[in-house]
Amino acid sequence: MSSQDNKPSKNKDSANGAAKIEGKWPKWLIWVGLGTLAILLGWSVYVERNIDKKDYSEFYELAEAGKIEKFEFENTNFAIEATTKTNDTFRTTAPREFTETERDLFNEKGIVQEFKTSSNSLGDLLFSFILPLGLIIGLLFWFARRQQSQMGGIMSIGRNKAKTYSSEKPGTMFDDVAGYKNVKKEIKEVVDFLKSPEKFAEIGARIPKGVLLVGPPGTGKTLIARAVAGEAGVPFLSVTGSDFMEMFVGVGASRVRDLFNEAKKMGKAIIFIDEIDSIGRKRGAGLGGGHDEREQTLNQMLSEMDGFEATEGIVMMAATNRPDILDPALLRPGRFDRQVVVPLPELEDRKKILDVHIKHKKMSDDVDVNVIARGTPGMSGADLANLVNEAALFAVRGGASVVHPEHFDAARDRVIMGVKRDSLVMSESEREMTAYHEAGHALCAALLPGYDPLHKVTIIPTGMALGVTMTLPEEDRHSIRKTHAEDMIVMMLGGRNAEDLVFDVVSSGAGDDLQKATGMARRMVTEWGMSDAIGPMAFGDNGPVFLGDGMSQSKEYSEGLAETIDVEIKRILTEQEDRCKNLLTTNREALNQVAQGLLEQETLSGKEIDDIIANIGQGNNAALV
């Protein structure tokens, strides 16, 4: 999906408030003061160091020699500043007042004498009294302002933290949201109401107060909510559920009140709460009892949603990927009474999303968006954006000037399977067993009629796997038939049975395959009613346990039925394993050639494997045995 940064527009008051905070000194004034202080200190040190100093005995010897032109005597501290006849200046300090002998000598030598008693200089006054006093006053003032700001922060803790996106320049429109035609159509009523509410008022229709966007992570729920505000041209108040939660009980409820008051002042507005499940969870669920702060926040939100009329022009929107844990009071009519499902994008939607993300990237002419979209089932808009970016990174690493299809293949492998482990060293026997294991998977996928086309198979260690077999569905599949589920189990067991057929051993490499096959068989029996012995019955919970909710529930079936379920699961797995063994035994030559090709090239495409099968002359007819 395409996203566009929406910068909050700032009016003059907010701009002035951001530039100049009342009651605080401008930063430039502080720097000027520090600079002036540094200059004064530096000048005083410079002057002090560049004046020559001598002992009083040297001064007296120069006076006796007639080399002193004049001097200035300070009566308070006996300091002497003397100037020689060569215009050199130095300082000294007399140990006492001059005696009669010394005065007669000075008069005899014709030395000009000046005696003075002066008060403290401005510099002495500055450094000894005014500067320390100013520093103390400044520190006291700084501490007072800091304490006042902290108290102000505590007093404003109940204010909401919503980000306001103004309607002056709506940044996100429906055109920025690629795909999701049905979602836009369903949510367009909200836009029409915010644009012209009088049409609804004339006929007496009531627009839903709250719209809940439900969907997996990364499907663009927040982007769609912004697009609604952009299309309607109204302010958009965005806040996450966690922004209401603090350590103080009652803070969340206060922020909810402040949020709704701010929205009412705007007239028409959209309040969007992202991840509403953080505050809207079922009350009283869990082992540890309720959470006072969260429940008070939820109660306040419920009462606020009852407190405004639908004709006021305020629409609540929220997003979650866990609607099953929301409190029923939040979903009743009059609150979030409309749920809009934002599913994972379909094939056509993925094409449009990919078009948006590759628009500003350099692509080669042979990049086919249809192939990329067909190879990314189950990916969200965020996943597709990451896929395009990974492909561009692979192109940069390879030194290419444009992105090629092989870069998308490498990016898809990295996103789905993980990073290739080129440093992993396998022994020849283990490498051969891995080749036959993956050849078994690939051969089953290629020979089973109606199965997803084989894309490629590799024995390069990737992620946590020693090898990978990948298929690409030709179209999105929304339901699974019994025959396809059985074919999936046959394909999952292909690696294990290939090892058993060729090496007469069973290794731990099939552990993940067995878990997936057993899980598929269990769902066929307990959820999908694909067992004649069980019949049209479904068992098990509908979702994960949430905070202990449902942990104390008893089993929904007897021990005898549980034994029947286990027997049926084993029967399905055993029957499909027999099919798999028969398929591989009949096509043993193809299995050997595919494994040999993997040992030589490490990676084979689906077309290369189809060519191997066609050359042997058995083809898909052997799969019907």
pLDDT for 362: 86
Rounded distance, CA 37 to CA 60, Å? 39
β-pairing verdict for 79-84 and 68-74: antiparallel
Q: What is the CATH number of domain 347-416?
A: 1.10.8.60
CA angle in degrees (0–180, nearest 5) for 383-386-388 = 110
CATH topology of domain 51-118: 3.30.720
pLDDT of residue 508: 82
CA-to-CA distance for 343 and 180, rounded, in angstroms?
9
Is residue 489 within 8 A of residue 517, CB to CB? The reply is yes
CA atoms within 13 A on the CB side of 482: 9
Cite the DSSP H helix spans in 65-180.
100-108, 122-125, 131-155
Residues 550, 541 contacting (CB under 8 angstroms): yes
- Cα 212 to chain center, whole Å? 22
- Residue range 163-341 in CATH 3.40.50.300: yes
Q: Is the dihedral of CA 471, 474, 478, 483 positive or negative?
A: negative
- pLDDT tens for 530-589 read 988 888 888 865 444 444 444 444 567 788 888 899 999 999 999 999 999 999 999 999
Neighbour tally for 181: CB within 10 Å: 13
Annotated catalytic residues are: 438
Question: How many CA atoms, within 13 angstroms, populate the side-chain half-sphere of residue 297?
Answer: 28
399-430 pLDDT per residue, tens? 888 888 888 888 887 777 666 666 566 778 88
Dist. CA 495–CA 433, nearest whole Å: 9
Please determine whether the domains at 51-118 and 163-341 fall in the same fold group of CATH. no
3-state secondary structure of 344: coil
**Do residues 243 and 255 touch, judged by C-beta distance below 8 A?**
yes
Q: Please tell me the CATH superfamily of domain 428-624, with its number.
A: Peptidase M41 (1.20.58.760)
Task: Tell me what pLDDT residue 288 has.
Answer: 42
DSSP of 260-308: HHHHHHHSSEEEEEESGGGTSBPTT-SSS---HHHHHHHHHHHHHHHSS
Alpha carbon distance 139, 407 (integer Å): 61
E strands along 293-427, which residues?
Answer: 314-320, 338-341
Question: Residue 1: its pLDDT value, please?
Answer: 46
Residue type at 221 in one-letter notation: K
From the CA atom positions of the chain, what is the Rg in Å? 42
Reference 270, options 243, 301, 241, 231; nearest CA is 231
> What does the alpha-carbon distance between residue 560 and residue 27 come to, in Å, rounded to a whole number?
80
Strand, coil or helix: 468? strand
pLDDT at residue 26, rounded to an integer: 62
Which residues of the chain fall below pLDDT 70?
Answer: 1-31, 33-34, 37, 40-51, 118-135, 142-143, 145-171, 241-252, 284-293, 307-313, 417-425, 463-464, 474-478, 540-555, 617-625
Domain spans of the chain?
51-118, 163-341, 347-416, 428-624
Question: How far from each other are the two terminal CA atoms of the chain, in whole angstroms?
Answer: 46
pTM attached to this predicted model: 0.58
Partners of 68 in beta bridges: 84
Neighbouring C-beta atoms of residue 602, cutoff 10 Å:
14
Please, what's the largest Cα pairwise distance for the chain?
139
pLDDT of residue 113: 83
Q: Rounded distance, CA 164 to CA 266, Å?
A: 11
pLDDT at 245: 61
- Integer Cα distance of 290 and 25 in angstroms: 47
Q: Are 433 and 582 in contact (CB under 8 A)?
A: no
Amino acid identity of residue 343, one-letter, is P
Q: How far is CA 226 from CA 147, 163, 165, 263, 574, in A?
A: 39, 12, 9, 16, 53
The C-alpha atoms of residue 290 and residue 84 are separated, in whole angstroms, by 93
